[in-house]
A = this chain, B = another copy of it.
Amino acid sequence: MVTPPERNYINGFATIQRKTLEVRESVMESVIEQVTEFLHSNRTNAEQTLAEFLAIPSVSADPKHRADVRRAAEWVAQFLSQMGLRPEIVPSEIGHPVVYAETPHREGVPTVLIYGHYDVQPAEDPTLWESPPFQPTVRGDAIYARGASDDKGQVLTHLLSVRAWYEVTKSWPVNFKFIIEGEEEVGSSALEDFVDKYRDRLTCDCIVVSDGNQFGPGQPAITYGLRGIAYFELRLTGPNRDLHSGSFGGTVTNPATALTMILGRIMGQDGRITIPGFYDDVVPLGDEERRRLRELPFEERAFWATLGVESALGEPGYTVLERRWARPTFEVCGLWGGYQGEGAKTVIPAEAGAKISFRLVPHQAPERVRQQLLAYLAQICPPGVRYELVDLHASPAVVTPLDSPYIKAAEMAVKAAFSAPPVFTREGGSIPIVGLFQERLGADILLLGWGQDDDNTHAPNEKFSLTDFHRGTLASAYLWDFIRKVAKSHET
């Protein structure tokens, strides 16, 4: 369920702030003090646990590592059983299992679903690594290993914090459900089936995902929005064979030329998408959210300089961050047709094609965008060529309203653990599984990335700051406490 358009993501923020000030007095009571003390005195042990987890080469893309992936699933299940749970290792039909666990349900207590993944990217060329990818090595403040930041180190912060609560209280501060999967790096193909199959058991109030980055070093962030996506392949066919462009140029429609005529029209010269109705469902940015986005430390010229450009075509009236996080886009991700080699070949190709994507924002439904695109293609495709639109990928946008009590709880928890108030950001990309969760489970999403942009996820020498690892664990421990309190205060 995407937020209805009339709901302002900032509204109610002041109200909640007042309420939380009232409850803050009672927050630092003895139980949370005991939990944080437990975490503090077990830091070395936590790092050893992380190293143990990282040493398992659970590369989901590589069939050679199938047994290792299984071993990582068992490692997670074993860990969950240490906090009084009876985890299930749910096999996937063709892939790797999901580890699922839940605490006994208590009424009147919020239910939190924790999602993460135990599989990792391939390590590729080991010679590019300063230390072997599956021999976790601490250098400076960071631990280096494949999966350190993506996602073993991050998901472990939540496992460690729940275990700490369990150690101290022999119970759980809120109801927990854990989905730790083993196919995130290969497309989470089995998870949709899993969610459908377990749907009744997955009911929850909020979903916590730590599989991303902070805004910058020392600057934690709460990501409250992700763009959706509708990704297609557009194929154009014209004459039944390649033709000589001299003998035939002017007599037939050239599919490569036609492709550029079609695609070149989808984005107007002003950077706006020209598909009729495309912006109809777009939730406008509120003044308050725009103000907050403008306050983020972000310099457009400096950002462009890192990319080697001086300016950009973009939707007029919006800042770069607004275009990146909160406005839909059209992108040509791939393009082909005719002769791509050296020199000149005078050919009219028989076909041409493109990979195209639209990044979507609330409330754009991918299916509606697809229908609008099809209608537009029917209108603008020149005569003499046929087109085919192939669906490759679709996922709706996700936004958690900023007046959600869970957002407030996360803000307080992060502030307490990181000694810095988090900034509120959105993401330009989509996390399909998050879209699926929000669609099927209708819960608020908390995206709490503890990583940094230079963690080298998906690259050699992946790392994770141990300071962030411990801060994340601490923030997670606070989060459960704030969630039960803010949720209760929000109810009243």
Chain A residues within CB distance 8 Å of chain B: 227, 229, 231, 238-241, 243-254, 256-265, 267, 269, 303-304, 307-315, 320, 323-324, 327, 329-341, 343-349, 352, 354-355, 357, 359, 382-385, 392-393, 427-430
Contacting pair A427 B265 (CB below 8 A): no
A382–B313 CB distance below 8 A? yes
Partner of A339, one of B244, B341, B355, B428: B355
Complex contact B269–A261 (CB within 8 A): yes
Cβ of A256: which chain B residues have Cβ within 8 Å of it? 331-335, 354
Bound-state CA distance A265–B257 (Å) is 10
Q: Are B339 and A334 in contact (CB under 8 A)?
A: yes
Nearest 5 A-B pairs (CB), nearest first? A264-B264, A246-B429, A240-B308, A250-B323, A260-B263
**21 A-B Cβ contacts within 8 A?**
A231-B344, A244-B429, A245-B357, A246-B428, A247-B429, A250-B323, A251-B303, A256-B335, A257-B330, A258-B313, A259-B260, A260-B264, A260-B332, A260-B335, A310-B384, A333-B346, A333-B349, A334-B341, A340-B355, A344-B357, A344-B392
- Provide the bound-state CA to CA distance between A168 and B230, in Å: 79
A426: min CB distance to chain B, Å: 11
Contact residue among B238, B249, B309, B427 (Cβ-Cβ distance under 8 Å from A329): B249
Assuming A240-B309, A257-B263, A332-B352, what are 7 further A-B pairs, CB within 8 angstroms? A229-B246, A239-B309, A254-B331, A256-B335, A260-B335, A310-B384, A344-B355
* Contact of A347 with B335 in the complex, beta carbons under 8 Å: no
Which residues does chain B contribute within 8 Å of A253, judged by CB atoms? Answer: 309, 311-314
A263 touches which of B250, B264, B330, B392 (Cβ 8 Å): B264
A370 to chain B, nearest CB (A): 14
Q: A261-B264, A263-B257, A335-B259 are in contact. Are A246 and B312 (CB under 8 A)?
A: no
For the complex, what is the distance from the CA of A303 to the CA of B244, rounded to whole Å? Answer: 15
CA distance A329 to B347 in the complex (A): 13
Q: Which residue of B lies closest to A453 (CB)?
A: B247
Residues of B within 8 A of A430 (CB): 246
The residue in A249, A336, A384, A429 that gathers the most chain B C-beta atoms within 10 A of its C-beta is A249
Partner of A384 from B264, B309, B346, B427 at Cβ < 8 Å: B309
Given contacts A344-B392, A346-B357, is CB(A332)–CB(B337) below 8 Å? Answer: yes
Which of chain B's residues has its CB closest to A429's CB? B246
In the bound complex, CA of A333 to CA of B240 (Å): 16
- Point out the residue from B262, B264, B383 that lies within 8 Å of A262, measured CB to CB: B264
Tell me whether A427 and B246 are in contact (CB under 8 A).
yes
Is there an interface contact between B428 and A249, defined as CB atoms closer than 8 Å?
Answer: yes
Q: Report whether B257 and A267 are in contact in the complex, using a CB–CB cutoff of 8 Å.
A: yes
Instruction: Kindly list chain B residues whose C-beta atoms are within 8 Å of the C-beta of A333.
Output: 245, 256, 338-339, 344-349
Chain B residues near A303: list those with CB within 8 A: 251
| Cβ contact of A332, chosen from B243, B329, B338, cutoff 8 A | B338
A315 cross-chain contacts in B, Cβ below 8 A: 250
Which of A262, A324, A393 has the largest count of B CB atoms less than 10 A from its CB? A324
Closest Cβ–Cβ distance, residue A293 to chain B (whole Å)? 13
A340 partner, pick from B265, B336, B338, beta carbons under 8 A: B336
Bound state CA distance, A371 and B312, in angstroms?
26
CA A244 to CA B348, docked complex, whole Å: 32
Which residues of chain B have C-beta atoms less than 8 A from A238's C-beta?
A: 309
B313 touches A383 (CB 8 A): yes
Q: Would A257 and B331 be within 8 Å (CB), given that A251-B320, A309-B238 are in contact?
A: yes
Nearest CB of B to A192, in Å: 16
User: Are A382 and B332 in contact, with the CB atoms below 8 A?
Assistant: no
Whole-angstrom distance between the alpha carbons of A343 and B335 in the complex? 13
Across the interface, name the chain B residue whose C-beta is closest to A325: B250
CB distance from A346 to the nearest CB of B (A): 6
B313 adjacent to A346 (CB under 8 Å): no
**A305 nearest in chain B by CB position:** B240
Q: How far, in Å, is A336 (CB) from chain B's closest CB?
A: 5
User: When the two chains form their complex, are residues A334 and B340 in contact, meaning their CB atoms are under 8 A apart?
Assistant: yes
